[in-house]
């Protein structure tokens, strides 16, 4: 390292003479002039190594020299690199900023889709150390990598090239570089396997608190990037009120279900006829003593692969007609199926009092192979039966509120992985 | 805090109202039942009906 350069905080470009700030510490290898694009060798008296021309400046909220804190550590923006990746007719762009901390060394801030991530290189090697294109093409499930005790799943891969370079770097970048990367996602960080020429490096990326980061670096409100979609590292964070709402709704749904099951069993049998030949009429007197709820009249007949039609009339204590209804019973079955029911249920709201039920079969027919006409019928009367539709309806409503939150988590998960280029096909 | 209390009250109110309506058999009458009582105002069944008069 040139000792003079280490002590200097600014220099003049040896190509164009423009004043350049020296921000990056003792391990800076190159300095690309912001004005003329000359790449200067920071370790050899800033001699011109090569000249970059016609570079289009990328849109980024950060400038060289900006200083801010990441997890309590102060970093300075020392370099800017814009990247482009092409695949078929698609194009992706992002901007990397090399950052420097006197205590924590070098890292990168990346601006991609409006999100700013922090990336640092690691010397630890994952297992397996590399994922080839062939593995990605032929694996039936996402390739996995173990790193620091955590499993990372394949997210994407590609080859990118720089389109703009400015400032200081701890290596020698070039517009002719081509970097192949394989990106894998863990629970809260991403692992990149980066291959450039023969060199392979591993990088760990995290998503800092965006508002805190931008404020710390002094990014003006009008320069803050507009976020597009959900970042893969963005966790779904629910407020305590949301959690409370979800939990109360789900508990309420469970309570309503239990109530519904309990109310389904509510009701008291108050009359039952014996088995009666369908050629006869059933006359069944009964007394309703509890007018809370419904009175349920259930007709039963032993139809088999046939149907039967019943007429019912209800009279009060003065033998005045109160209600009339007709009900059909049809029951069909095979060796492994059955359809219909041998019971027909009718529910009425009856005031307390004495009633008489008249039941007769009016028509029946066999319309299936091996069918048999109903020969016997019976009727049962219960009082105080509940209409459980209401409590199950409440359970459904409350359950939906709770499940909306689960749906939100599912959608968030889908959104996080939407940028992945993995296909199960 | 008040939002939470209001939400709990709403949930309890919903369950309570649903239980009350279930026990009282509101809208539980079967269809196609004809009230044949003479003078029964408006029949006895259907939406808003109150059973056999």
A145 plus A71 within the same structural domain? yes
- The per-residue pLDDT for A334 is 87
pLDDT in tens, A306-317: 999 999 999 999
- The per-residue pLDDT for B42 is 35
User: What's the average model confidence in pLDDT over A293-298?
Assistant: 95
pLDDT in tens, A231-278: 999 988 888 999 999 999 999 999 999 999 999 999 999 999 999 999
User: What's the average model confidence in pLDDT over A177-194?
Assistant: 94
A199 plus A323 within the same structural domain? no
| Neighboring chain A residues of B44 at a CB cutoff of 8 Å | 323, 349
Give the residue from A198, A223, A248 where a domain finishes.
A223
A216 plus A298 within the same structural domain? no
- Best A250, A390, A398, A405 residue to mutate vs chain B (most B CBs within 10 Å): A390
| Nearest residue in chain B measured CA to CA from A325 | B33
User: Shortest CB distance from B30 goes to which of A266, A346, A386?
Assistant: A346
Beta strand ranges found along A113-216 (DSSP E): 115-122, 144-147, 150-169, 179-185, 190-196, 199-206
| Nearest residue in chain A measured CA to CA from B21 | A390
- Best A387, A393, A395 residue to mutate vs chain B (most B CBs within 10 Å): A387
Q: What percent of chain A has pLDDT over 70?
A: 98
| Neighboring chain A residues of B19 at a CB cutoff of 8 Å | 259, 263, 390-391
Do the interacting molecules here have an ipTM over 0.85?
no
| Neighboring chain B residues of A391 at a CB cutoff of 8 Å | 15, 18-19, 22
Side-chain half-sphere CA neighbours of A213 within 13 A: 22
Domain range enclosing A147: 3-223
* Domain membership flag for residue A256: no
Helix intervals (H) in A47-116: none
Q: What average pLDDT does chain A have?
A: 93
| Cross-chain residue pair A241–B4, CB shorter than 8 Å | yes
Q: How far apart are CA A168 and CA A106, in angstroms?
A: 11
- The per-residue pLDDT for A424 is 77
| Cross-chain residue pair B21–A256, CB shorter than 8 Å | no
Chain A touched by B3 (CB under 8 Å)? yes
A51 plus A125 within the same structural domain? yes
pLDDT in tens, A269-285: 999 999 999 999 999 99
A181 plus A301 within the same structural domain? no
| Neighboring chain A residues of B43 at a CB cutoff of 8 Å | none
| Nearest residue in chain A measured CA to CA from B16 | A391
- The per-residue pLDDT for B35 is 59
Q: How far is CA A301 from CA A182, A274, A298, A308, A424, in A?
A: 70, 12, 10, 8, 55
Beta strand ranges found along A215-342 (DSSP E): 268-272, 276-277, 282-288, 294-301, 306-316, 321-333, 338-341
**Quick check: A7 pLDDT over 50?**
no
A7 plus A115 within the same structural domain? yes
A155 plus A94 within the same structural domain? yes
A191 plus A60 within the same structural domain? yes
Copy the structure tokens of residue A373: 């006409």
Closest CA relative to residue A55, chosen from A37, A70, A67: A37
Chain B touched by A263 (CB under 8 Å)? yes
User: What's the average model confidence in pLDDT over A168-177?
Assistant: 93
| Cross-chain residue pair B11–A313, CB shorter than 8 Å | no
* Domain membership flag for residue A290: yes
Copy the structure tokens of residue A375: 């020969």
**Quick check: A42 pLDDT over 90?**
yes
- Best B1, B5, B23, B48 residue to mutate vs chain A (most A CBs within 10 Å): B23
Copy the structure tokens of residue A380: 């049962």
**Quick check: B19 pLDDT over 80?**
yes
* Domain membership flag for residue A238: no
CB atoms within 10 A of CB A1: 12
Residue A252 to chain B, least CA–CA distance (Å): 7
Per the structure, the count of domains in chain A is 2
**Residue A53: CB partners within 8 Å, gap ≥ 6?**
A37
A27 plus A170 within the same structural domain? yes
User: What's the average model confidence in pLDDT over A111-131?
Assistant: 95
- The per-residue pLDDT for B39 is 39
**Quick check: A134 pLDDT over 60?**
yes
* Domain membership flag for residue A415: no
* Confidence at A391, pLDDT banded by 50, 70, 90: very high
A298 plus A198 within the same structural domain? no
- The per-residue pLDDT for A8 is 52
pLDDT in tens, A308-361: 999 999 999 999 889 999 999 999 998 899 999 999 999 999 999 999 999 999
A88 plus A155 within the same structural domain? yes
**Quick check: B43 pLDDT over 90?**
no
- The per-residue pLDDT for A132 is 92
User: Shortest CB distance from B22 goes to which of A252, A316, A388?
Assistant: A388
A280 plus A343 within the same structural domain? yes
Residue bearing tokens 């019971």: A343
Chain B touched by A389 (CB under 8 Å)? yes
pLDDT in tens, A407-421: 988 999 999 999 899
- The per-residue pLDDT for A287 is 97
Q: What percent of chain A has pLDDT over 90?
A: 86
- Indicate the range of A73-77, A112-116, A195-199 predicted with least confidence: A195-199
- The per-residue pLDDT for B31 is 78
- Residue A307's CATH number: 2.60.120.380
Residue bearing tokens 């020698």: A172
Grouping H, G, I as helix, E, B as strand and the rest as coil, residue A18 is coil
| Neighboring chain B residues of A398 at a CB cutoff of 8 Å | 11, 14-15
């Amino acid at each position: 390292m040139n000792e003079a350069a280490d002590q200097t905080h600014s220099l003049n470009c040896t190509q164009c003479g423009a004043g350049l700030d020296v921000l990056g510490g003792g391990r800076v290898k190159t300095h690309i002039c912001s004005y003329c694009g000359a790449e200067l060798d920071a370790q050899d008296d800033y001699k011109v190594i090569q000249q970059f021309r016609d570079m289009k400046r990328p849109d980024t909220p950060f400038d060289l020299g900006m200083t801010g804190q990441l997890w309590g550590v102060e970093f300075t923006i020392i370099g800017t690199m814009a990247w482009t990746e092409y695949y078929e007719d698609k194009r992706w762009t992002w901007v990397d900023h090399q950052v420097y901390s006197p205590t924590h060394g070098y890292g990168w801030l990346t601006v991609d889709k409006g999100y700013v991530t922090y990336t640092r290189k690691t010397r630890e090697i994952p297992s397996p150390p590399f994922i080839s294109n062939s593995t990605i093409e032929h694996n039936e499930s996402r390739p996995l990598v173990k790193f620091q005790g955590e499993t990372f799943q394949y997210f994407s891969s590609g080859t990118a090239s720089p389109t703009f370079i400015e400032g200081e770097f701890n290596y020698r970048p070039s517009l002719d570089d081509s970097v192949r990367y394989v990106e894998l996602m863990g629970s809260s960080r991403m692992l990149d396997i980066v291959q450039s020429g023969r060199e392979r490096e591993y990088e760990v990326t995290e998503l800092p608190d965006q508002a805190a980061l931008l404020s710390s670096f002094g990014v003006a409100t009008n320069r803050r990037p507009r976020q597009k979609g959900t970042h893969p590292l963005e966790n779904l964070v629910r407020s305590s009120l949301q959690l409370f709402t979800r939990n109360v709704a789900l508990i309420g749904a469970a309570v309503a279900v239990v109530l519904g099951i309990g109310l389904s069993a509510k009701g008291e049998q108050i009359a039952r006829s014996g088995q009666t030949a369908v050629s006869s009429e059933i006359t069944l007197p009964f007394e309703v003593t509890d007018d809370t709820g419904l009175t349920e009249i259930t007709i039963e007949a032993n139809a088999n692969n046939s149907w039967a039609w019943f007429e019912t009339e209800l009279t009060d204590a003065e033998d005045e007609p109160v209600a009339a209804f007709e009900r059909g019973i049809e029951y069909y079955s095979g060796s492994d199926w059955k359809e219909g029911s041998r019971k027909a249920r009718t529910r009425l709201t009856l005031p307390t009092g004495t009633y008489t039920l008249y039941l007769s079969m009016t028509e029946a027919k066999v319309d299936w192979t091996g069918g048999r006409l109903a020969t016997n019928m019976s009727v049962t009367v219960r009082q105080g039966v509940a209409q459980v539709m209401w409590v199950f309806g409440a359970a459904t409503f409350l359950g939906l509120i709770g499940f909306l939150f689960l749906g939100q988590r599912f959608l968030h998960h889908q959104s996080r992985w939407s940028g992945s280029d993995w296909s199960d096909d | 805090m008040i939002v939470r209390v209001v939400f709990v009250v709403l949930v309890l109110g919903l369950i309570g109202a649903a239980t009350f309506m279930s026990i009282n058999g509101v809208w539980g009458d079967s269809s196609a039942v004809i009230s044949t009582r003479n003078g029964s105002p408006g029949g006895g069944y259907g939406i808003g009906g109150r059973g056999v008069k």
